[in-house]
Structure 1
Amino acid sequence: MRRIVLPLLVALFPFAATAEEPFVANAVDVTEWKAVFGRIEARDRVQARSRLGGTIISIDVSEGSTVEKGQQIASITDEKLTLQLNAVDATLTSLESQLDTASADLKRGEDLLERGVATAQQLDQLRTRVDVIKGQIGTAQAERSVLEQREAEGAVLAPIGGAVLQVPLTEGSVVMPGESIAEIGGGGFFLRLAVPERHANYLEEGAEIRIGGDEGETTGVLAKLYPQIENGRVIVDVEFAGMETDFVDARVLVRLPVGKSTTLLVPEGTVSTRMGLDFVTVQSADGAKSQRSVVTGGAHQMDGVEMIEILSGLTAGEQVVTSHE
């Protein structure tokens, strides 16, 4: 009966007859991660400035508003321009009246010249007077166009499309040409970090970055590494999918790769804990097994397998097997 049942069990459950393969503890290079905080920033932060000095009569946006490029966000008026336009209009009315009179005089001069009453010199004087008045009208019209253009520059336009970050002024404020009316952030968003300069040599563009969040860690890419060091820190830009852009300058926890260290790792299942001490089961070359106390470090993940760092109590090349508590 034993000869019949034993082969049958082996055929049905081959793993029961297979000896457990030991794990050879080897020293591997492990990436060291540094936790820092980054800020979500707009790629472009541009000031919408006034082109005309005067008084703000309306502001059509507030912090958080979304604008398109070229959209009017405020209006500025200069009362002196209205007075100048009125003066130019009065000058044009006077010149047009003078032109009508001079044209009538020229017409009569041409009739008198045909009848031999007037001279050609008098007719030339009348024609010159008409040309001079026409030139003055052209000058006044050009001056009016300049004033109209300056008045149109009272419309403050959004230089880029995006979100309004700041509106430092209110309606009724007096502004000078070039003064900022609003700050607009656009061109997309990214995560900006300030990393201590001692880690600069370990950073490289395209490296994988770990970003912490309420729903767990996600990964991003180190998109840009700025060469200039400011106040002992290197500026780094990180991009990742699913970035929350509701609040600009929001802080996000990020883990950066800042170096590598040689570490002895064993699978998590080979470590057991009893009475506050950690043990591993070591298998010798002749197959004998023994328990050994070890000091463990942090947890790591390699190829989807949870690994435990061994600080002391085990050397590279030794074989460990899964612990059975």
Structure 2
Amino acid sequence: MNKLHPLVFALALTVAGCGGHDKSAAEPAHNTVKASVITLQPVDADVMSAMPGTVVALESVKVASRLMGYIKNIAVAEGQPVKAGERLFTIDPLDIEGGVAQARLGLDQAEKAMQDAKADYERFDALYKDEVVTRQQYEKMKLNYEIATARAGQAKAGLNTAQGQMKYAVVGSPINGVVTQKLANEGDIAAPGYPVLLVENQSRLQVQTTVPEAIYAGLKVGAPIRVEVDGMAEPLEGKLARLSPAADPMTHTHLVKIDVAAPGLRSGAFARVLFATGRQSVLRVPHEAVLNRAGITGVFVVDAKGVAQYRMVRTGREEAGQVEILSGLSAGERVVTGNGAAVNNGDTVQG
């Protein structure tokens, strides 16, 4: 009988020893965790259609100058609140001052001409009464005086107009609001019809969106409308303020305006307007049940033996602390809703 080489015999013992280890010793230990559990039941909910919209200010004024001239000074910055009448910017009054000086000179000349015409008229009036001059000569002096008087009146009106233009050199805010946009800079030429600043009343805001005929037909002014706005943690409760009866000929959609109000809400924000278009059966779980493990959104599902397994789910809208589950769960399954952070795969859950 052949004997085993000592090295081969030692290797055989080593392999045998490794194969004799208990496999269960390498598996992670499972714990028993106390956590609240619910059994999923379908509930009826509105089917919501989300339409894109924009938050806009109900009062929005593009402030322009009534004069043409260089913008001398802009006294406000974007984001700055202003009151009605508060100075926004100033137009260089040099041209206006020149116009006032010219109008004043014209008035002086017209008044002197009127005084001369008046003196001639009074002299010819006396001469006519003494029958020294003819009636034709008298009437001519009278007409000259009337024309001079009218020209003096026109010159005075021109001076008043030129002086009145001075007040337009300083442009104030037409409303209480916030400067939301600067459209020109100091040194630019301002002209009538070309806005320099945009001022909006942020206390009166609306969300504007467009809807197809199928949604428009079921809307009524005054109805509550839910609105989701970027940057706002919770949806806003708005009120339908106006419906445009005429559809856009290109898109065949109607313009809809919703009154909204919330601290921190600003015009220009993107919004999603939610319109109820029907009813359906859905599954919902409390917000606390939805977890994020290694970047995967999911919940712990408890089987008949009480063992928890993490399952990936696709979530939908969240409302009143309840999250809609679009896929990944079925009615009748049991889901961990409390103390989920302490649960791991394979743990036994006790309610």
Common fold: TM-score over 0.5: yes
Q: Of residues 280, 287, 295 in structure 2, which corresponds to 1:261?
A: 280
Structure-1 separation of matches of 2:53 and 2:214? 16
Identity in percent: 20
Residue 311 of structure 1 pairs with residue 326 of structure 2: no
Instruction: Indicate conservation of the 8 Å contact 2:54/2:269, yes or no.
Output: yes
Instruction: Indicate conservation of the 8 Å contact 2:209/2:257, yes or no.
Output: no
Q: Of residues 131, 150, 163 in structure 2, which corresponds to 1:135?
A: 150
Deviations 1:102-161 (A, max 9, x none): 333334444445555445544333333222211221222233334334444444343433
Q: Residue 93 of structure 1: CA displacement?
A: 1.6
Alpha-carbon spacing, 1:76–1:304, altered in 2? closer, same or farther (3 Å)? closer
Residue 278 of structure 1 pairs with residue 298 of structure 2: no
Q: Which residue of 1 aligns with 2:264?
A: 244
Deviations 1:34-88 (A, max 9, x none): 7888754422322112222211122222212223345442222464444343333
Instruction: Indicate conservation of the 8 Å contact 2:225/2:258, yes or no.
Output: no
Structure-2 separation of matches of 1:299 and 1:153? 56
Q: Residue 29 of structure 1: CA displacement?
A: 1.8
Q: Which residue of 2 aligns with 1:220?
A: 237
Q: Of residues 167, 186, 195 in structure 2, which corresponds to 1:180?
A: 195
TM-score in terms of structure 2 length:
0.56
Structure 2, unpaired ranges of 5+: 1-38, 287-299, 306-310, 334-348
Structure-2 separation of matches of 1:62 and 1:84? 31
Residue 59 of structure 1 pairs with residue 79 of structure 2: no
Instruction: Indicate conservation of the 8 Å contact 1:222/1:236, yes or no.
Output: no
Structure-2 separation of matches of 1:157 and 1:166? 15
SS of the residue corresponding to residue 99 of structure 1 reads helix
Q: Which residue of 2 aligns with 1:7?
A: none
Structure-2 separation of matches of 1:302 and 1:89? 72
Q: Which residue of 2 aligns with 1:48?
A: 63
Q: Which has the higher strand share?
A: 1
Q: Residue 217 of structure 1: CA displacement?
A: 3.5
Structure-2 separation of matches of 1:305 and 1:97? 88
| One-letter amino acid of the structure 1 residue matched with residue 280 of structure 2 | S
Structure 1, unpaired ranges of 5+: 1-23, 268-275, 282-294, 315-322
Alpha-carbon spacing, 1:302–1:145, altered in 2? closer, same or farther (3 Å)? closer
Structure-2 separation of matches of 1:207 and 1:224? 10
Q: RMSD of the alignment, in Å?
A: 5.1
Instruction: Indicate conservation of the 8 Å contact 2:107/2:159, yes or no.
Output: no
Alpha-carbon spacing, 1:191–1:69, altered in 2? closer, same or farther (3 Å)? same
How many residue pairs get matched?
Answer: 276
